[in-house]
Amino acid sequence: MINIFLVDDHDIVRFGIRSLLDKEKDIKVVGEADNGEDAVKQCRALEPDMVLMDLDMPGLGGMEATKRILHHCPDTRVLFLSMHKDNALPAKVMETGAWGYITKDAGPQQMLQAIFKVHSGQKFLTPEMAQQIAISRCGGDSQNPFEKLSQREMEIMLMLTRGERVLDIAAKFNVTPKTVNTHRYRMFDKLGVSGDVELTRLAIKHNVISSDI
């Protein structure tokens, strides 16, 4: 039996995934959360075999939540389920210790395939995504400037483009606002932008975030 914990800030998404998983005799959904903070707290208590983790959520995002969950529950395997297809994000996500990444437009069979592969000890990425990541890591030419960002810079970028304040971001990461701003301005320099508005426009242009945020 695979004990799975669901994390997504959209109720209808969690309902759809749970409806699919409840039909599988070898899978049991042991809990749900609609934010990263609650996910960390519940997973520490439940120690599930696997977490299906959303990437972009208000407050504590999926990458930071994953790092905190794995710190307390190192045997838990995290599979990301996100609407983002661009390889700049999956590459950073896999650096958190996650075991796989699939997009929300994946069919039910691909999701189940990912779950069973990860549970058996295999990493899971679609062939196309794996190829893109491999090319970017080997220094291949890329048109996406967001691949230059560190994992922490990518997390802060997602929060800034949602309109979150520096003070609130600092509180989520337990750091000072000065530290967040250091990451912020370093990120601006790497991307060649001068502020949050330009950052958001560039992220939309490169499909790193959705245009309907």
Among 95, 111, 136, the domain boundary falls at 136
pTM: 0.79
pLDDT at 187: 93
Q: How far apart are the first and last CA of the chain?
A: 37
Amino acid at 108: P
- Going by C-alpha positions, the residue among 151, 141, 142, 136 that lies closest to residue 206 is 142
pLDDT at 145: 84
pLDDT surpasses 80 at 195: yes
Number of domains in the chain: 2
Give per-residue burial for 95-121: e unless 16+ CB within 10 Å, then b: ebbbbbbbbbeeeeeebbebbeebbee
8 A C-beta contact, residue 29 and residue 41:
no
Mean per-residue pLDDT for 8-30? 94
Q: How would residue 133 be classed by pLDDT, with cut points 50, 70 and 90?
A: low
8 A C-beta contact, residue 26 and residue 2:
yes
Domain carrying residue 132:
2-136
Is 154 found in the same domain as 107?
no
Amino acid at 40: V
Cβ-Cβ contacts under 8 Å for 212 (sequence gap 6 or more): none
Among 83, 113, 136, the domain boundary falls at 136
Amino acid at 43: C
25 domain-assigned: yes
211 domain-assigned: no
pLDDT surpasses 80 at 209: no
83 domain-assigned: yes
Average pLDDT taken over every residue of the chain = 88
Tokens of 138: 């080997």
Is 173 found in the same domain as 84?
no
pLDDT tens-place string over residues 71-126: 999 999 999 988 776 667 787 888 899 999 998 888 899 999 999 999 999 999 87
> Domain holding 85: CATH number?
3.40.50.2300
